[in-house]
Amino acid sequence: MAAKLMRAVQYDRYGGGGAALKLVEVSIPSPKKGQLLLKVEATSLNPADWKIQKGMLRPFLPPKFPFTPGTCVAGEVVEVGQGVTAFKAGDKVITLLHFTVAGGLAEYAAAEEKLTVHRPAGISAAEGSGIPIAGLTALHSLRSLGINLDGVDKPINVLVTAASGGIGHYAVQLLKLAGDVHVTATCGERNLELVKNLGADEVLDYKSPGGAALESPTGRKYDAVVNCVAGIPWSTLKANLAAGGKVADVAATAGDMLRAALQKVCFCNKRRFPLISTPDGPGLEFLVGQMMEGKLRTVVDSKFPLKRAAEGFDKSIEGHATGKIVVEIF
Ligand SMILES: NC(=O)c1ccc[n+]([C@@H]2O[C@H](COP(=O)([O-])OP(=O)(O)OC[C@H]3O[C@@H](n4cnc5c(N)ncnc54)[C@H](OP(=O)(O)O)[C@@H]3O)[C@@H](O)[C@H]2O)c1
């Protein structure tokens, strides 16, 4: 019997950005052991989607061509694979698809049960799809900096760069859970008010001299930094760190990684370390819980239907999203 077909957006070579994405028909995946088949409602985009297409992680990713990008998915369970116990058909969920398989820009996707969480009625598909990679990276950054989200022991000053972006906007909100944390944030001028409303205590326009220097207007030195901007020199960060200050760098370059390794072996007092988030079902559950309690929200930059996913891809490449770019699957 012929396999049932679905629409999907794929690319079949490195490079080309949105123009290289094609709307095609492919077979609907079958859920394997421990997997769920989802009818995808929304998939948010991440810079990694186009960086992988560009070939920045070759030869490891994508695993093969053609490839369907999209890892951060909200949808509805239509079928469960062998051994799945926590979900049934009809459940609304949020899931993280591995970069090694992806598949979010499609009508149906096979998701791992252990990386899937229930999506309460109060969370829309678009909002929910924003969470997985960006939310987990924000959460893992704060944890790696030793910031206890249940409440810090003593007052601390934290800087979040690109606080208007996918990761940064979640990081600012999560920091407010931790109690006595003074948050300084950077973003473009048009988003100063938004980032303040997310909970930042002071916000710097990154194009202003003080913003480019990352200097707190109130003269604070940072105990911790979540850096979401590639290419910020170590000298700029170091000048603003308190004694023992640490930088979790989610946008580290190869040079940053080398310096981080040296700083580690030298037991440097001030350090910058690369942060690469990992798939984390319990972390996802935590973030969805915070959203349900009204302590976390997704700022949706823009929404595109599947057939216009290429426009969303190009918007992500431009690097000026405010919050998350979402592709709605209809
Ligand atoms: N390590 C990991 O596990 C991991 C996971 C996910 C992502 N990442 C990486 O982390 C980085 C950030 O990802 P993202 O999804 O948050 O990006 P994003 O959503 O694309 O970030 C866009 C935002 O960054 C702002 N921005 C750009 N340059 C800035 C600067 N110099 N200072 C302050 N704000 C600036 C833009 O503001 P304007 O529009 O005003 O310019 C825009 O609002 C990317 O390099 C991504 O590849 C790493």
For residues 148 and 158, what is the distance between their CA atoms, to the nearest angstrom? 13
Q: Find the 231 Cα to ligand 1 centroid distance in Å.
A: 11
Nearest Cα to Cα of residue 158 among 229, 247, 243: 247
Residue corresponding to tokens 């930094």: 225
Beta strands at 92-96 and 72-80: parallel, antiparallel or unpaired: antiparallel
| Residue 202 contacts residue 175 (beta carbons within 8 Å) | no
For ligand 1, pick from 145, 320, 326 the residue to mutate: most ligand atoms within 8 Å of CB: 320
| Residue 103 contacts residue 273 (beta carbons within 8 Å) | no
Please name the amino acid found at residue 171. Answer: A
DSSP letters of 289-329? HHHHTTS--PPEEEEEEGGGHHHHHHHHHHT--SSEEEEE-
Q: Is 296 in the pocket of ligand 1 (CB under 6 A)?
A: no
| Residue 296 contacts residue 287 (beta carbons within 8 Å) | yes
The confidence score (pLDDT) of residue 267 equals 81
Q: Is 278 in the pocket of ligand 1 (CB under 6 A)?
A: no
Q: Find the 160 Cα to ligand 1 centroid distance in Å.
A: 11
Q: Is 45 in the pocket of ligand 1 (CB under 6 A)?
A: no
Crossing angle for the helix pair 132-144 and 281-292, nearest 10 degrees?
Answer: 100
Q: Is 250 in the pocket of ligand 1 (CB under 6 A)?
A: yes
The helix (run of H) or strand (run of E) holding residue 250 is: none
Residuewise pLDDT in 10s, the chain (330 residues): 567 999 999 999 999 999 999 999 999 999 999 999 999 999 999 999 999 999 999 999 999 999 999 999 999 999 999 999 999 999 999 999 999 999 999 999 999 999 999 999 999 999 999 999 999 999 999 999 999 999 999 999 999 999 999 999 999 999 999 999 999 999 999 999 999 999 999 999 999 999 999 999 999 999 999 999 999 999 999 999 999 999 999 999 988 888 888 888 888 899 999 999 999 999 999 999 999 999 999 999 999 999 999 999 999 999 999 999 999 999
| Residue 316 contacts residue 45 (beta carbons within 8 Å) | yes
Tokens standing for 206? 């990154």
Q: Is 117 in the pocket of ligand 1 (CB under 6 A)?
A: no
Nearest Cα to Cα of residue 117 among 71, 166, 77, 62: 77
Asked if CATH classification 3.40.50.720 holds for the domain at 135-274, the reply, yes or no, is yes
Q: What is the pTM of this model?
A: 0.98
pLDDT tens for 255-310 read 888 888 888 888 889 999 999 999 999 999 999 999 999 999 999 999 999 999 99
Q: Is 322 in the pocket of ligand 1 (CB under 6 A)?
A: yes
DSSP letters of 55-66? TTTTTTSSSSSS
Tokens standing for 39? 């009818």
Nearest Cα to Cα of residue 81 among 36, 111, 29, 115: 36
Residue 225 falls in which region: left (phi positive, over 0), alpha (psi -120 to 50) or beta? beta
Task: Give the right CATH number for 5-131+298-328 from 3.20.20.20, 3.90.180.10, 3.30.300.30, 3.30.70.1880.
Answer: 3.90.180.10
Nearest Cα to Cα of residue 138 among 252, 69, 61, 226: 226
| Residue 154 contacts residue 116 (beta carbons within 8 Å) | no
Q: Is 134 in the pocket of ligand 1 (CB under 6 A)?
A: yes
For the chain, the domains span 5-131+298-328, 135-274
Tokens standing for 189? 């001028």
| Residue 203 contacts residue 196 (beta carbons within 8 Å) | yes
| Residue 26 contacts residue 125 (beta carbons within 8 Å) | no
Check whether the bond before 63 is cis (ω within 30° of 0). no
Check whether the bond before 279 is cis (ω within 30° of 0). no
Q: Which atom of ligand 1 is nearest to the CA of 324?
A: 19
Q: Find the 180 Cα to ligand 1 centroid distance in Å.
A: 26
